[in-house]
Chain A
């Protein structure tokens, strides 16, 4: 199964800590036999509304190939973890090679052009 997952961590964390949390998740997926096909860092973004009293959040996205059970634990984890704000997981049919619209490196390009 191909999945696309987005993780949002609290903006009160330092960038390094957020990265660590993201890597932790990736390792967990790898441990359960999943393959990471694509990683994206969307950076620190302002949230449209407050989540758990946070107004900013670090966004990360991965495309992966793994078993359906792999993600079942994450929902529980969000409830326990104060700094884990959101987790969206959707099935996809194919992995897009291009970077998505929100990737940090891509948004930097746009601002440079202007």
Chain B
């Protein structure tokens, strides 16, 4: 936990750090889908990289789905591979 706090590069996700449980699991959680670009954008950096699950607290199962979804969206040019 301390290590994560020190990492100031992820300041914008500090809100997520406080939330201990996975934000994509549970009843009311949004469905991970390559068509839901707004959701995927929240789990990628400005440059377009996928955020690590240790930062976002996403469960392993959902992180796998997320990574698949981001890659599909990239292929269709809905999300960038790299953006400056």
Contacts and interface: CB of A to CB of B under 8 A. Distances in A.
B38 A101 contact: yes
Given A48-B83, A49-B81, A88 B76 contact: yes
Given A88-B72, A90-B72, A51 B77 contact: yes
Q: Max chain B CB contacts within 10 Å: which of A45, A48, A85? A: A48
Contacts of B79: 48
Classify the interface of chain A: helix, strand, loop or mixed: strand
A48 B75 contact: no
Contacts of A102: 35, 37, 78
B35 A100 contact: yes
Contacts, number: 36
Interface residues of A, number: 16
Contact of A8 (B33, B76, B83): B76
Contacts of A49: 77, 80-81
B80 A48 contact: yes
Nearest to B36: A101
B35 A101 contact: yes
A36 B76 CA distance: 21
Nearest to B75: A88
A61 to B, nearest CB: 8
A90 B68 CA distance: 12
Interface of A: 6, 8, 45, 47-49, 51, 57, 59, 85-86, 88, 90, 100-102
